[in-house]
Structure 1
Amino acid sequence: MPSILCEENDGIALVTINRPEVLNALNIDVLQRLSELLDALKTRESVRAVILTGAGAAAFSAGADIRYLHRATPLEVREYARLAVRITNQIEDLGKVTVAALNGYAYGGGLELAESCMLRIAARHAMLGHPEVRIGAVAGFGGTTRLPRLVGKGRAAEMLLRGRAVDAEEALKIGLVQGIADADQLMDETGTIVRDILQQSPAAVRLTWEALHRGLNMTLEESAALGADLFGLAASTEDFRTGTRAFIEKTRPAYRGR
């Protein structure tokens, strides 16, 4: 069976990490195939959103392939991590709505993939964490960068330094996930959220994500200026006129992505 599955329906691509026998651990094959698929989805006009999940009921992804790490050289480990970092950057810069549906364990590198998505929805039984220090390692796929931006430096430090996992309820409380659903309702709940975003102006959604994502790496003044610039850019679209006219006329806007 292929290690990555992709199913497209109504503009939404469901991407599934497909190694349930090892809790969807991320080996080289998974990462390479995922990178290739993301490149293809980025330019596929029929796809407006991507939902990333794991096969089976146990895990989204338990993270890096520890057996590979144990036998790999330091240079091989670095290249492996750089490939994973490139994938997280691909997800952030995809130009599509990206949501992780965490159907079970999301540990280490698996959680780092989820952290690069716009939003994360967790099954009620899911556990999330960065246990890397427990095997003498570092969260090297971007976790030390993204986790503190999501939950704050103090909470991130506590999770990363202790290697402690949190359940779905705590993850929601600290802002690591944005919703919880029963296991049999996870994909429906995730799909509802995605479709709600897709009802908005595509340009406004894309520019809002750019302002948020890029702005976090700027000073307050630079970030605010970027927001103003992107606001002006959004005003150049047909959708902006459609949305403002609908507000004035108290009708429902029908965005066309122009």
Structure 2
Amino acid sequence: MIGSQADGRVRRIVFDRPAARNALTTDALEDLEAAIEAVEEPVILLEGNGPAFCAGADLSVVEDLDREGAEAFARRGQRVARTIEESPAVVVAGIDGPVRGGGLELALACDVRVGTPSATFGEPGVTFGLFGAWGGTVRLPRIIGEGDALEFVLSGRVVGAEEARRIGLISRIEAEPHVVAEEIAENAPDALAVLKRRIRDDRERSIQERAEAEAFGELLEAHSADGRSLLE
């Protein structure tokens, strides 16, 4: 249910269960985590096969869980989202068609989110008495702001690509999201990894700034050691 293929400097990882709109089971989450951890390329493009990006958790699995099982399933999804967030590779979500629930939460863990003109976004759990528990309540307000996050999840409504771009849910609208992944992959891998770590750093500001300066010095030293000129 999870495909993985190298495409130059980009690793394409695919939700590959189109008949179920790429809904995720526990096994699929484990496969996704393993696929992310195995990546050696500097950029990952996360995408869906078929008409949907990812419908989120497979509800046929969820409805059979007891409380203990539900908490374990939530922690499994949270762990996969952290694996995406903490991967040394830059992870681009290329969203075409619907993304819902847990699929949206995994997209929120990505570094860059790109939607096609036909992409739609929703967190419908509230309409049947649940909510996504794969880290979305933490990441969503950080990304789009508390006000828009509350309205979005409390209403359960679906938004299109233009509105998603306006509120910051995605950064670009592209007919072919792989173009963005390839643009990023053209840059120096060591700089990509450092920039991701620095921008993702949520420690106290002075600690972040010190780490930023140290990372800049390390990169410049490595650049000089290679005999390269910044003016070339």
TM-score by length of 1: 0.84
2:223 counterpart of 1:225: no
The CA deviation at 1:69 is 1.2
1:156 is paired with a residue whose SS is helix
The CA deviation at 1:236 is 2.5
Asked whether the 8 Å contact 1:131–1:160 carries over to 2, the reply is yes
2:80 counterpart of 1:96: no
2:45 counterpart of 1:55: no
Moved over 4 A (4+): 239-243
1:238 is paired with a residue whose SS is helix
The residue correspondences of 1:57-76 to structure 2 (distance < 5 A) are 57=51, 59-76=52-69
Q: Decide whether aligned partners of structure 1 residues 204 and 240 sit closer, same or farther in structure 2, where only a CA change above 3 A counts.
A: farther
Partner of residue 198 from structure 2, selected from 194, 211, 214: 211
Cross-structure match for 2:114: 121
1:154-207 Cα distance to aligned partner (Å, 9 max, x none): 11111122222211000111111111123xxx2xxx232222222222111111
Q: Decide whether aligned partners of structure 1 residues 20 and 175 sit closer, same or farther in structure 2, where only a CA change above 3 A counts.
A: same
Asked whether the 8 Å contact 1:23–1:60 carries over to 2, the reply is yes
Q: Decide whether aligned partners of structure 1 residues 165 and 146 sit closer, same or farther in structure 2, where only a CA change above 3 A counts.
A: same
Cross-structure match for 1:255: none
Cross-structure match for 2:131: 138
Q: Decide whether aligned partners of structure 1 residues 36 and 239 sit closer, same or farther in structure 2, where only a CA change above 3 A counts.
A: farther
Asked whether the 8 Å contact 1:234–1:240 carries over to 2, the reply is no
Q: Distance in 1 between matches of 2:31 and 2:180?
A: 27
The CA deviation at 1:234 is 2.0
The CA deviation at 1:28 is 1.2
2:185 counterpart of 1:198: yes
Q: How many residues align?
A: 232
2:191 counterpart of 1:246: no
Asked whether the 8 Å contact 2:96–2:115 carries over to 1, the reply is yes
Q: Flag structure 2 segments of 5+ consecutive residues without an equivalent.
A: none
1:61 is paired with a residue whose SS is coil
2:80 counterpart of 1:87: yes
Asked whether the 8 Å contact 2:84–2:110 carries over to 1, the reply is yes
2:229 counterpart of 1:236: no
